[in-house]
Amino acid sequence: MKKRDIKTELKKVIKREVKASKMRLGIPQPPLIQNHFLREMTKLLRYNPNNIGTTTRMMTSEDSCRKLEKRLIKKLAGWFGDPDADGYVTSGSTEGNIMGLWIAREELKKYGKPIVIAHKESHYSIDKACRILDLELFKTNTENWKEPLNGKLLKEIIGDKKRPVICVATIGHTSTGIIDDVLSISNYLKENHKHIYLHLDAAIGGLFVTLTESQKIDFSRTEVQSITFDFHKYGLFYYPSGIFMCRKDLQSKIINKIDEYVSIFDDTLIGSRSGTIPAIMWANIEYLEKRGLIDRIDHIIKNKNIFIKELVSKKVRYISEERMPVVCFFLDKKIPDNTELKYRIHHIKRPEGYCYTIFFFPEYSDSYTNLLKSL
């Protein structure tokens, strides 16, 4: 193909993306990336640095992308309640969930075959992780869809099973924004079971809840062993920029020794991975600091509250956690197919009606207004 024709094809795709990016109200995907260091990123992409392995667990060279990733993870680990935690930049929370459950299985297997417990509404990557790892998964009942996972539900599920327990708490379920009750879960586990592992899937709510809640949902609870969340969702950053963090040295449970041909060890799921993304993430976080991220969060929550006011005036029922960028509303009648497609929203049929989920980002104000007009 001629270069000119290829460029024409690409131009069409770019045009479509520009238009679509402002309409994806039903997907937790930032419409516009916020990167204050584009020029440096372009340069680094050219030289293609590789950050294989976990930088918080190795010596890093001066002036390297690895060193910047280590500083990034250390900073985030401090924000998330354990400055000693290890971690790395992942492909996203699917990988983060597989990592959490993999480490948990290796940690607990000496006490018997662990069971995994998660909410019915938890992300399908938990099912995926359990299938890959041959772990038995127990979920809450469908009728409890609005009740966060808590100690009482855990007790019902565990019953008299005498097996190690891996619990996944979701910090913001994808379709409802509901936050599992980590305090109740960790208290229940601590008081009733000896061999436990608590993993937080904070893919959507990680930054919102941890940076702004006075009641922390992070490593400050001693039962929490690992956390995943995504900068390619509410860090308004590129794919792939997930963050996986776990207690110091837990990753030694899954280490792959590859020093036969490279003098490095790999204690992650994917092997080679970008050094550019972590370096530019580091730059943006240093530039924004916690204050900049909180300002951004406040802006998004303000947009959400305007939308909620409109829902109330239209007498539309909804649920929304105060600190989550998500609204889930119910309609008696389904939104027409073409409108669902236009805004990339989809419905789940629940006893309460047709249930829709909207994710809030700074750039969507016109699309929210237009969607509301069509209700």
Ligand X SMILES: Cc1ncc(COP(=O)(O)O)c(C=O)c1O
In the complex, the residues that contact ligand X under the rule CB under 6 A are 28, 92-94, 97, 123, 125, 170, 174, 201, 203-204, 230, 242
SS3 content of the chain, % helix, strand, coil (to 5): 45, 15, 35
CA distance 138 to 5: 53
CA distance 368 to 306: 10
Shortest CB 100 distance to ligand X, Å: 11
Nearer to ligand X, 28 or 148 (CB): 28
Nearer to ligand X, 173 or 221 (CB): 173
**Cβ-closest position to ligand X:** 92
Nearer to ligand X, 129 or 293 (CB): 129
Shortest CB 314 distance to ligand X, Å: 27
Shortest CB 203 distance to ligand X, Å: 3
- What tokens were used for 285? 């976080």
Shortest CB 370 distance to ligand X, Å: 24
DSSP string, 214-276: SS--STTSTTEEEEEEEHHHHT--PSS-EEEEESTTGGGGG-EE-TTTSS-EE-SSSSS-BSH
- What tokens were used for 307? 């939308």
Nearer to ligand X, 76 or 316 (CB): 76
Nearer to ligand X, 56 or 170 (CB): 170
Angle at CA 86, nearest 5°, toward 80 and 91? 85
Angle at CA 45, nearest 5°, toward 11 and 296? 80
Sequence-ordered alpha helix ranges (H) in 139-181: 151-158
Nearer to ligand X, 203 or 236 (CB): 203
Evaluate whether 348 touches 326 at the Cβ level (below 8 Å): no
Closest CA to 88 of 271, 263, 293: 271
Shortest CB 239 distance to ligand X, Å: 8
**Maximum pairwise Cα distance, the chain:** 68
Shortest CB 268 distance to ligand X, Å: 15
Which residue spans within 25-107 are E strands per DSSP?
86-90
Shortest CB 92 distance to ligand X, Å: 2
Q: Are strands 347-350 and 326-331 parallel, antiparallel or unpaired?
A: unpaired
Nearer to ligand X, 154 or 203 (CB): 203
Closest CA to 249 of 364, 86, 365: 86
Shortest CB 230 distance to ligand X, Å: 5
CA distance 239 to 274: 11
Count CB-CB contacts under 10 A for residue 118.
27
Nearer to ligand X, 71 or 173 (CB): 173
